Amino acid sequence: MDGVLRVEEVNALGNEQFVWIFNNIVENYPQVASAICNQCPFTSADHLADAASNYLDLLPIHGKEEVLKLHPDLAGRLADEGKLTKDSLREQKSAGLHNLTPEEKAQIKQLNASYREKFGFPFVICARENKAEAILQGLQTRLHNSHEKELETGINEVKKICRLRVKDLVLS
């Protein structure tokens, strides 16, 4: 999906419009859009995404954990129940998670549960930059990380997702 707004149009938005349009650049966390709307004018989609990344970097540890907790499990209950945000649905489909075999689905659900139990938040990876096999491998590998390392890795993945979502909305 290519951006739909020129950066000049983004800069002309009122705060309410800006927050409404960019409310899900970080999954279920419109606070990012609220926090960065006053940083206009932006010079590009990347500039806007950088502002969101900087906001995430400045969050305290518990804030970063809260951001991660707002993400759905990959190929999890929300996907099964058709309750993903439109962004997450598109992203999980692009990774092929809707085409998992029953065995792969059971494996990813078990790994998701182990991950969540260990870290206290769901496994987050930029699905649009990965396919199902790489996601399964990432889950297996990252389960061995420390909480600190996984918090950093998870937030970096959120920033990748955010950048792609911004580029879906803003022409580069």
By annotation, the residues acting in catalysis are: 71
CA distance 24 to 148: 25
CA distance 126 to 135: 9
CA dihedral defined by 78, 82, 84, 90, rounded to 10 degrees?
130
Region at 75 (left for phi over 0; alpha for psi -120 to 50; beta for the rest)? left
Q: How far is CA 27 from CA 43, 146, 155, in A?
A: 24, 24, 12
Tokens 């993903």 locate to 84
